[in-house]
Structure 1
């Protein structure tokens, strides 16, 4: 039954012992305290969970005025904006969103459509550099001079980081403007070159001698097998480390000897098929025997979870500091495999499939072949070279 002003006037400001909540329509209703304080509220679902938004008190907000607000907050919800954040921004200057508010709203809306690793990367960057920037300040009140000073401070540590944070800020602010959470900001006029530098494209290609040294250093390490084997598998396959860490036993078909990276774990959002070579199989069998987990590389202390990238990066930093070779990263294994195999005559479309890249042009549309046999031959050649170098009995490529 719909509410009326006559009904609410009879309750307002008087002792009340009736139901704590009375419904109107379209999710609108009132909450009533024992002393007769009446507050309008709107019920809705946000990310699958029941939520409510307080719209104001009666009689400041009469029945007709409260009902007139519902299409507005419904439109915010339909546009992917949390109605509570929208209302906070709309009603008071003090409630205008901060950088942290906008970042969290962005993640709330975008996270369901992104890969977990991408969300984790966003959260890590926001937590490190943005959540505590200009605390409590409405984002629309931050001047361009203040933004420039902020980025200049980041650039003192790393110009690449400053440039990356500007790109994040501009993407988030554009998103917030499109959803009418904020107005256009002056910071959106800045370019990466104004405050920092773009990220560098890596060019490090390891030699076989260096690969052998890294493998032997891994064997000396006291890290857990799960961490050690993930780095070795990355060197042998040229796969993205995330593809290995998120792999489960069911991704490996031992009858056809094919490893399929499902689209949810693929950067390109399409499945990747690679042959399982004897060298990789040896690592897989050791992992499955040691841990008995559904994850190929489970976390050391929690076998129900996959190994985290932080553990791998920590190991790489530790062994890198002990080695007398130029700086390298685990991602360099991909460039190394592709370069060294190309030098050995392996065709580009084969190495591209080994790396999990999508072929360009017409081939991407019509050619769905994975060249598994050619991949297997190339992988065997590479593994023989690497393991031979580990044992010290192979000529350099």
Structure 2
């Protein structure tokens, strides 16, 4: 009987064996955050990818025209081993005929529905680059659900303008603009994936938006500082202080990781996958910010600066603590996000 090695091993040879249901069912989960791949010794290129969350997916891993390609076949056990081998054989046959199944799968066609385009956009583009993809999916599900089955080739600019107007009336101008931005991004990505149509959202004029201008006023600061320092939840208190001192986005501060902090250089590097712009950012840390980090590091046993008890492992916006602080300070209509503008007002 072939003995499977530990997931941490990099030996491909030890991860190659004849797939059976018994062996696949007992595969251990990866010890790190990366997928683990196991290869079938009976079918060329067939592999099973196992995620840390326990999801298992059949894929075909082959070089096509000199380039490595990974083609998703389907989830296990929804697909049996025999079905996966049959599909892998079909794909191998197409490759032998000079075709590129991966390229064909990446391309977008006129008959694709908007839902199919969005699912591809979500899995192939958004999730690998953005951690905050759930809000985009919620926006699509709420405001574009009636367009899910529409073929992308049938969506016209006049349709988008009408949708923009209706959402602006019913849900607000800000939401309407975000929906059109999402449609524009979807069709731009479809074009990048070799779709030959025009972007119907390309020149739809956005509603004017008035930016929120609320920030801590000078006469509010003494009461705010007193209330903040009186907060008993140290993690929430330090998170709010760090938000104020760095001016960074809430999601970035909440998921701040120790490996992003350079104490010697006094910098915090936010990687591109966490950045809203998709580009890495480096924030210079002030002496008070460094003092908070040094104190927290001394007693930390987590990868996160502000650990939490939820699934993410880090702090999620501490609404209860924030309400206690502003109530204690006697301040109204102030949000945690307003702390970014507060720093900007100090720097102006």
8 A Cα contact 1:226 1:300, kept in partner: no
The 3 A distance-change label for structure 1 pair 341 and 273 is: closer
Match of 2:146 in 1: 133
The 3 A distance-change label for structure 1 pair 185 and 293 is: closer
Measured against aligned partners, the alpha-carbon deviations of 1:360-394 in whole angstroms (never above 9, x if no partner) come to xxxxxxxxxxxxxxxxxxxxxxxxxxxxxxxxxxx
TM-score, normalised by the number of residues in structure 1: 0.53
The 3 A distance-change label for structure 1 pair 270 and 188 is: closer
8 A Cα contact 1:43 1:52, kept in partner: yes
Q: Point out the structure with max Rg over C-alpha.
A: 1
Match of 1:116 in 2: 131
8 A Cα contact 2:121 2:189, kept in partner: yes
- For residues 70 and 218 of structure 1, the distance between their equivalents in structure 2, rounded to whole angstroms, comes to 68
Deviation at 1:161, TM superposition (A): 0.9
Match of 2:340 in 1: 334
8 A Cα contact 1:140 1:182, kept in partner: no
Match of 1:208 in 2: 218
The 3 A distance-change label for structure 1 pair 212 and 99 is: farther
- For residues 82 and 314 of structure 1, the distance between their equivalents in structure 2, rounded to whole angstroms, comes to 47
Match of 1:260 in 2: 268
Give the paired residue count: 270
Measured against aligned partners, the alpha-carbon deviations of 1:336-355 in whole angstroms (never above 9, x if no partner) come to 2243244xxxxxxxxxxxxx
Helix, strand or coil: the match of 1:306? coil
Matched, 1:153 2:166: yes
Match of 1:107 in 2: 122
8 A Cα contact 2:184 2:200, kept in partner: no
- For residues 253 and 44 of structure 1, the distance between their equivalents in structure 2, rounded to whole angstroms, comes to 38
- For residues 185 and 282 of structure 1, the distance between their equivalents in structure 2, rounded to whole angstroms, comes to 50
| Aligned partner (choices 246, 249, 255) of residue 240 of structure 1 | 249
Deviation at 1:296, TM superposition (A): 0.3
| Aligned partner (choices 72, 93, 98) of residue 51 of structure 1 | 72
The 3 A distance-change label for structure 1 pair 157 and 115 is: closer
Measured against aligned partners, the alpha-carbon deviations of 1:108-143 in whole angstroms (never above 9, x if no partner) come to 3323762434x455334334433x232433233345
Match of 2:284 in 1: 274
Match of 2:7 in 1: none
Match of 1:369 in 2: none
| Aligned partner (choices 86, 92, 105) of residue 82 of structure 1 | 105
Deviation at 1:230, TM superposition (A): 0.9
Helix, strand or coil: the match of 1:133? helix
Cα RMSD (Å): 4.4
Measured against aligned partners, the alpha-carbon deviations of 1:243-273 in whole angstroms (never above 9, x if no partner) come to 422322344455x472332544556735525
- For residues 317 and 140 of structure 1, the distance between their equivalents in structure 2, rounded to whole angstroms, comes to 49
8 A Cα contact 1:243 1:261, kept in partner: no
8 A Cα contact 1:170 1:187, kept in partner: yes
Identify, as 1 or 2, the structure richer in helix. Answer: 1
- For residues 180 and 163 of structure 2, the distance between their equivalents in structure 1, rounded to whole angstroms, comes to 10
TM-score, normalised by the number of residues in structure 2: 0.59
Deviation at 1:169, TM superposition (A): 0.4
The 3 A distance-change label for structure 1 pair 312 and 154 is: farther
Deviation at 1:106, TM superposition (A): 1.7
Measured against aligned partners, the alpha-carbon deviations of 1:279-310 in whole angstroms (never above 9, x if no partner) come to 435533554466521210112346x72223xx
| Aligned partner (choices 220, 226, 239) of residue 235 of structure 2 | 226
8 A Cα contact 1:102 1:172, kept in partner: yes
- For residues 247 and 338 of structure 1, the distance between their equivalents in structure 2, rounded to whole angstroms, comes to 21
